[in-house]
Amino acid sequence: METIKVLELFAGLGGFHIAVNNQKDANIQVVKSFEINVNAVKTYQENFGYDVISNRNILSLSTEELIRQNVNAIFMSPPCQPFTRLGKKLDVNDDRCNAFHHVLKLLPRTPNIQYLLIENVYGFESSKMRENMLEILQSSGFYTIEFLLSPTDFGVPNSRLRYYLLARKNKKFTFCKHDPPSILKEFTYCTCGGISLHEQSSICSNCQREVNTKISSLVQQNTGNMKQSFLVNTSKLHSYLDEKTDIEQYAVPDKILLRYGNILDLRTFQDSSSCCFTKGYTHLVEGSGSVLVCNRSVTIEEAYKAYNEFKETNSEAALNSLRKLKIRYFTPKEVERLMCFPDNYIWPKDLSDKTKYKLLGNSVNVHVVTLLVALLIHS
């Protein structure tokens, strides 16, 4: 069996590292990681040890060192700010693209790199940076396939649409039916927890997709022990929430309720979705993530009818109507679960919740990248 040794760049909280560790039937491991954020490095060390990760700028990586690292795969999630809808969309003119571009320029001179997995924000697919990337990869002998995927595609109640690229040198992807392929908007193979095959067929009767036994085995393995692994195929939010949470500690402040009550993204325990959590969660309002209604005896409709009736004339009455809903933020642990990190993931004791939210907002969804790693090496 081929040994795959991974260099994890822009490592963040180590989502790719967990995804690699989840590949129980493959000879693959992360041997080195680079990350510049000090708090991310501390967290990474708590979970994966002190020897794997280096706190350094990727621009310092040379061709000689990349060869010397003795790796044949690179997994990375480069900065998304040049492409995000909330940014200035400077694309290749944003200095935060420099490190990513530097890595790409090393590839033609490093024949040892045979596999790539790249994640970025929705919007990257229409960027000049993507055009440059594909040109370099294809001229370097890589076959590529691209996806736009969200955890909701896999039964996880959190919307986090992201761009993914898989690339292999001199190895075509057997599932790709188009040449050149378009960006795929669904995962190629069946990811149902319990596979139901058509008679004398390899097609799942539930999702109508082809069954890849390696990937199906991976899904079954990780749905069998949700709390010890990552959560999948549990579509209700209550499966991801703490049973006992200090509502007052995580309550949405009165000033936010009064001023921004009508743009809060409210969710209940029985909802099957939530908005993407960003690094601005809890200190930005619009588009930064959902909040949870904890009082099940008061309807949202009743509370908001009173809120909108009194908002302009009696602010205290308007505020009281929303207070009854007991609206709180999702805790860092709950966001972590929605990002499909295992429940035994460790945070340094000195990190604030604000820092945890920021780091999680920049992270990958572990379940999605776990399946993509499997697709990269097993398809």
Comparing C-alpha atoms, which of 123, 119, 78 is closest to residue 98? 78
Backbone angles phi, psi at 184, to 5 degrees: -80, 140
Helical spans, DSSP H, in the chain: 15-21, 38-48, 63-68, 98-106, 128-139, 213-223, 254-260, 300-310, 315-323, 332-338, 353-361, 366-378
Residue 69: which residues within 8 A CB-CB, separation 6 or more?
A: 7, 31, 32
Q: How far apart are CA 202 and CA 213, in angstroms?
A: 10
Q: What is the DSSP string of 78-112?
A: ---TTT-TTS---GGGSGGGHHHHHHHHHGGG-TT
Token pair of 264, please? 């809060």
Residues 294, 295, 299, 304: is their CA dihedral positive or negative?
Answer: negative
Q: How far apart are CA 259 and CA 311, in angstroms?
A: 9
Give residue 377's identity as a one-letter amino acid code.
I
**Chain Cα centroid distance, residue 372:** 12
Burial (Cβ within 10 Å: 0-12, 13-18, ≥19) of residue 243:
exposed
Q: How far apart are CA 158 and CA 276, in angstroms?
A: 6
Cβ–Cβ under 8 Å, residues 222 and 22: yes
Which one of 80, 97, 276, 340 is the catalytic residue?
A: 80
DSSP symbol at 233: S
Widest CA span in the chain: 72
Give residue 327's identity as a one-letter amino acid code.
I
Helical spans, DSSP H, in 90-212: 98-106, 128-139
294 as an active site residue: the answer is no
Comparing C-alpha atoms, which of 243, 255, 241, 195 is closest to residue 335? 241
- Give the catalytic positions in this structure: 80
